[in-house]
Amino acid sequence: MKEKVVLAYSGGLDTTTLIPWLKENFDYDVVCCCINCGQGNELDGLEERARLSGAVKLYIEDVIDEFCDDFIMPCVQAGAVYEHKYLLGTSMARPLIAKRLVEIARKEGATAICHGATGKGNDQIRFELGIKALAPDLRIIAPWRMTDVWTMKSREDEIAYCEAHGIHLPFDASHSYSRDRNLWHISHEGLELEDPSKAPNYDDMLVLSVTPEKAPDAETELTLAFEKGIPVALNNKRMKVSEIITELNRVGGENGIGIVDIVENRVVGMKSRGVYETPGGTILMAAHEQLEELVLDRETMEMKKKLGSQFAQVVYEGKWFTPLREAIQAFVTSTQKYITGEARLKLYKGNIIKAGTSSPYSLYNESLASFTTGDMYDHHDADSFITLFGLPLKVRAMKLAEAENRKL
């Protein structure tokens, strides 16, 4: 009986070519596994394609709600943004994909897992760290790093390989953007983006969005309701997180929200340029932050921002299944106890404009914050506070003056 390998299968040319390649070079039975994190119509026709390419079985695993609830929301609550811009769309999905690949491998009695990530990117790290953490006994096959066996270097080579093995598929050799899509975002790399001096060709590139210039010349009003840091309703309609993100993607895309052009630092040490469309995620994170401003105290907010940056780096580097991620997430979860209320927003030509925030746990006190004298604040108290708060500065200035006088 042949050994089995579970192949992380997208249905694209690369992973389709891997099916006959794995059979020829390792004599494996290939079990394809496509993890549906919200790729939409990219899943059309996968079953027939996998069968025609020689797979013994295809799993299509719908993990959209798990993705939203257990991977997206911890990042939203943490305010996790990598290098100030990237909302971690690909990074968040990879540990979940690795987790489900391991589960299918165990179910099928497979001895190996294969992925089609390149040797230059971050995804090889994210997939493999996840697999190592959950199933250290499984072999990992990364063809793009096996240059003695994987000799194909172009789409033309892959198409010719498939044709030679009697596999005739609806792919051509024309090059397009390298994309990754899930419910949270879609990323674009390649073509003109490989030259940072060139502007993105947004007319040819964008899938979820329009540019702000092409957005309607009218405001779109939204109200997002949260309970303990989790969005529960959009415009007074109760919805699942996945449904809220789906609707925010639609309305955000129409208004040119969440288009980011970034040159980021990959884990492997190189800079990479990409354009990310994250319309719904950008709105959701803005609304969550808007509510936190009203509820969290200053010191907790400051610590949370520091740990949120650390959380983003942990997720970006593929270290989801680590004690550090669990510890930071535990802190973040504790801060969400009172993040309940409503954030009202207006969308206009790429901008998210605050339109009011309310919470039963608001720390805002009008008597304290008002420019008029309130009954909870005595202006004279500021005298003693400033004297003590500024004491180190005053002492330092005095000592420096004494030292200068001694020189004279």
Q: Using one digit for the tens of pLDDT, what is the confidence trace for 301-331?
A: 999 999 999 999 999 999 999 999 999 999 9
The predicted pLDDT at position 176 comes to 84
The model's pLDDT over 145-197, given as tens digits with 9 standing for 90+, comes to 999 999 998 889 999 999 999 888 777 767 789 999 999 999 999 999 999 99
Tokens standing for residue 147:
């240059």
Q: Is residue 226 within 8 Å of 340, Cβ to Cβ?
A: yes
- CA–CA gap between residue 379 and residue 338 (Å, rounded): 30
* Pick from 223, 228, 232, 274: nearest CA to 251: 223
CA distances from 160 to 52, 165, 377 (A): 16, 9, 78
**Annotated catalytic sites, by residue?**
14, 94, 123, 178
Confidence of residue 119 (pLDDT cuts 50, 70, 90): very high
The predicted pLDDT at position 63 comes to 98
Flag whether pLDDT at 263 surpasses 90. Answer: yes
Confidence of residue 391 (pLDDT cuts 50, 70, 90): very high
Q: Where are the alpha helices (DSSP H) in 83-122?
A: 89-108
pTM listed for this prediction: 0.93
The model's pLDDT over 22-74, given as tens digits with 9 standing for 90+, comes to 999 999 999 999 999 999 888 888 899 999 999 999 999 999 999 999 999 99
Q: What is the rounded radius of gyration, in angstroms, for the C-alpha atoms of the chain?
A: 26
The predicted pLDDT at position 371 comes to 63
Average pLDDT for residues 210-223, to the nearest whole number? Answer: 98
Q: Is residue 91 within 8 Å of 83, Cβ to Cβ?
A: no
Give the count of alpha carbons within 13 A of 70, CB side only.
Answer: 14
The model's pLDDT over 344-383, given as tens digits with 9 standing for 90+, comes to 999 999 999 999 999 999 999 876 666 665 667 778 888 9
The predicted pLDDT at position 369 comes to 63
Flag whether pLDDT at 211 surpasses 90. Answer: yes
Tokens standing for residue 241:
């997180």
Mean pLDDT score across all residues of the chain? 95
Confidence of residue 1 (pLDDT cuts 50, 70, 90): confident
> Which domains occur in the chain, in start order?
4-164 (3.40.50.620), 178-296+339-358 (3.90.1260.10)
Tell me the residue length of the chain. Answer: 408
| Crossing angle between the packed helical segments 391-407 and 381-389, to the nearest 10 degrees | 50
